[in-house]
Amino acid sequence: MAWRGWAQRGWGCGQAWAASVDGRSCEELTVALAPQRLLGHRFNFFIQQKCGFRKAPRKVEPRRSDTGTSGEAYRRSALIPPVEETVFYPSPYPIRSLIKPLFFTVGFTGCAFGSAAIWQYESLKSRVQSYFDGIKADWLDSIRPQKEGDFRKEINKWWNNLSDGQRTVTGIIAANVLVFCLWRVPSLQRTMIRYFTSNPASKVLCSPMLLSTFSHFSLFHMAANMYVLWSFSSSIVNILGQEQFMALYLSAGVISNFVSYVGKVATGRYGPSLGASGAIMTVLAAVCTKIPEGRLAIIFLPMFTFTAGNALKAIIAMDTAGMILGWKFFDHAAHLGGALFGIWYVTYGHELIWKNREPLVKIWHEIRTNGPKKGGGSK
């Protein structure tokens, strides 16, 4: 009886506590404290408290920017991950926050094209040796008994049937799929938001400019981007070559993110961005500029075709309107920056950057031929 009386008194206290919070019942409080459903998934950065004698978790309110745009505006897009507990505080000196990204963009672009030039040199040097190795391998295969149903042989056959462009972008697609899977790990959510989404109001500014290029939160977003990249891979690699394409793609991801930073700082509309759309827009714009009379079609409407030149004009017009009108579903500044960079590179950049790589290649050739000088010893 004593225990029963204690339990009844405890239950009465619980009822009194529930009724004293804004005059709402436990059921009403449970609904009020339920995390918002975003994108069809629940991402809880705290353990949801059950109705009882525990205190409700304190809600973190995002700080509004000067223009009145809060983080909720960016949660409406299915392409951006939820940032319930991540609060971005715009810098009191926004122009200063662009200095480090600017130097990172220039330095990374130079390193990318310099590395691509050295890569091309090494590739050309090894082709002769690979040619003789291939002849030897073919001769050994002719005298060696063939295995039936060899899985490795089937994989090699599939790989050899791909074009140079398709083989080049396979690694890029694999990296995007890996990062997409990492987004599904709850314990990595904070790390992914910190390093794989780009935002000029974040504490980490430079590395996300590259990592966010390989980051997709929505499966549809990733599938659409990778399909476009796969479709244009053969054309762009035939125009530029494997090494130059990789330098262009990686540089385009960083440059488009820098343009996005500038747009966000100029408008005060801070928020996270991610995806390979900026880099893919560079590829698309480069191909459309180089082959303006090529015929393109929409994935779901293959019966309607149009020229590549008209498609590029429509894309630039849409992204320009999106920047002016403040549309938030896509990062239109990144799209526009990537498209303009692609047009500039195939028109002027190839002559200014890639065709002036000879001094660097000569220096590398001297290093590879002579090797480091060894001191000491007699001749």
CA distances from 153 to 28, 130, 135, 158, 265 (A): 63, 19, 17, 9, 53
CA distance linking residue 227 with residue 16, whole number of Å: 59
Q: 96: closest CA among 201, 209, 193, 195?
A: 201
In the structure encoding, which two tokens stand for residue 346, read together? 């195939």
- Number of Cβ within 10 Å of residue 211's Cβ equals 20
Which residue of the set 332, 335, 350, 365 is catalytic? 335
Q: Is 335 a catalytic residue?
A: yes
Cβ partners under 8 Å of residue 131, min gap 6: none
Q: Which 3 state secondary structure label does DSSP give 231?
A: helix
Task: Give the chain's largest Cα–Cα span.
Answer: 105
Tokens 């926004």 found at: 94
Q: Is 277 a catalytic residue?
A: yes
Is residue 35 within 8 Å of residue 42, measured between CB atoms?
Answer: yes
Which residue of the set 115, 277, 332, 350 is catalytic? 277
* DSSP assigned state of 216: -
* 3-state secondary structure string across 1-58: CHHHHHHHHHHHHHHHHHHHCCCCCHHHHHHHHCCCCECCECCCCCCCCCCCCCCCCC
Where do the H-state alpha helices sit in 58-202? 72-75, 99-143, 151-161, 164-183, 189-195
Q: Which residues pair with 38 in a beta bridge?
A: 41
Q: Which residues are catalytic?
A: 277, 335
